[in-house]
């Protein structure tokens, strides 16, 4: 009998997680199947109980459920508790354990481009949701010099920056307009929102008019692979990091938690690239 895995989110029709994981199950001769489930926010608790009833071995969690899912799990590991969000759930002996592979997955993709020590960097994170919290937490762990949160709702950015503040990393909050006006002071800019995702590919989270060419600009979106945000950054001479690395890395880490097997990340990457037409 196949072991069932999946993705809980809303909407999830665009996700390439099923393609990536099912190919890896096949390549590793693992008897599993991964399915994306559209779960409206009002139905999340019912969906989690359904996962228990179906004896799912594990599942991913995406927008908008990464924070609220924690209310329905039996245990959440230390890093996910610090982040305040879960993106990976493992079933063990009938109990659901929450983890977060987003932060580490992102960090590994960023390290491919950022070669100078993290404590020298001033980082702007656009957004204050679950992905932003994961990235902010791991960057604080790496002792970046400062983290600024810019969000459409300033109060949410202020709350998040207060949680991140530490003795080694100073944290603050700005409106999106304020962030645009101060853009040149950041060495790394990370868009964690869905602004610019297919089909609204002409949208940008903020203007890059004041961008410095020394800045690394990163976008978590992987569909399209090169968002308008990254395209404009590249035109201004900045280094860019697309969302594919984080997507593959967080998926590989989740796969390992579920199965104990180490997947081939390069094959996972090529699988997604082929689907995206890259």
- CA 37 vs CA 50, 141, 251, 254, 272: distances in Å: 11, 33, 16, 17, 19
State mean pLDDT over 112-118. Answer: 92
Q: Are 74 and 123 in contact (CB under 8 A)?
A: no
State mean pLDDT over 176-189. Answer: 97
- Tell me what pLDDT residue 231 has: 98
pTM: 0.91
- Tell me what pLDDT residue 17 has: 96
Catalytic residues: 66
Closest CA to 92 of 75, 72, 69, 79: 75
In the predicted structure, residue 278 carries a pLDDT above the cut 80: no
3-state SS of the chain? CCEEEEEEECCCCCCCHHHHHHHHHHHCCCCEEEEEEECCHHHHHHHHHHHHHCCCCEEEECCCCCCHHHHHCCEECHHHHHHCCCCEEEEECCEEEEECCHHHHHHHHHCCCCCCCHHHCEEEEECCCHHHHHHHHHHHHCCCCEEEEECCCHHHHHHHHHHHCCCCCEEEEECHHHHHHCHHHCCEEEECCCCCCCCCCCCCCCCCCCCCCCCEEEECCCCCCCCHHHHHHHHCCCEEECCHHHHHHHHHHHHHHHHCCCCCHHHHHHHHHHHHCC
In the predicted structure, residue 107 carries a pLDDT above the cut 90: yes
pLDDT in tens, 138-166: 999 999 999 999 999 999 999 999 999 88
Q: Are 145 and 120 in contact (CB under 8 A)?
A: yes
- Tell me what pLDDT residue 157 has: 96
- Tell me what pLDDT residue 130 has: 83
In the predicted structure, residue 71 carries a pLDDT above the cut 80: yes
Lowest-confidence segment of 34-38, 81-85, 123-127, 210-214 by average pLDDT: 81-85
Q: What's the chain's Rg over C-alpha atoms? A: 18
State mean pLDDT over 104-117. Answer: 94
pLDDT in tens, 198-236: 889 999 999 999 999 999 999 999 889 999 999 999 999
In the predicted structure, residue 112 carries a pLDDT above the cut 70: yes
């Amino acid at each position: 009998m196949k072991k069932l895995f999946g993705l809980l989110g809303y909407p999830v029709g665009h996700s390439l997680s099923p393609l990536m994981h099912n190919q890896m199950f096949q390549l590793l001769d693992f008897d599993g199947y991964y399915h994306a489930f559209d779960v409206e926010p009002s139905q999340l608790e019912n969906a989690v109980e359904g996962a228990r009833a179906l004896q799912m071995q594990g599942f991913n969690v995406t927008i908008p459920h990464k924070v609220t899912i924690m209310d329905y799990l039996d245990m959440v590991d230390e890093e996910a508790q610090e982040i305040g969000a879960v993106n990976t759930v493992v079933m063990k002996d009938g109990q659901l354990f929450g983890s977060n592979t987003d932060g580490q997955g992102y960090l590994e993709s960023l390290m491919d481009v950022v070669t100078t020590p993290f404590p020298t960097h001033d980082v702007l994170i656009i957004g204050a949701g679950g992905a932003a919290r994961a990235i902010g937490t791991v960057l604080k762990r790496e002792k970046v010099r400062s983290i600024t949160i810019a969000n459409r709702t300033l109060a949410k950015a202020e709350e998040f920056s207060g949680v991140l503040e530490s003795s080694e990393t100073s944290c603050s909050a700005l409106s999106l307009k304020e962030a645009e006006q101060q853009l040149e002071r950041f060495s790394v800019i990370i868009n964690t929102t869905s602004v610019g995702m297919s089909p609204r590919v002409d949208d940008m989270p903020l203007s890059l008019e004041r961008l410095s060419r020394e800045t690394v600009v990163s976008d978590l979106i992987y569909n399209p692979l090169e968002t308008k945000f990254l395209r404009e950054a590249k035109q201004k001479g900045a280094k860019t990091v697309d969302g594919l690395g984080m997507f593959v890395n967080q998926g590989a880490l989740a796969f390992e938690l579920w199965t104990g097997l180490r997947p081939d990340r390069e094959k996972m990457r090529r699988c997604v690239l082929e689907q995206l037409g890259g």
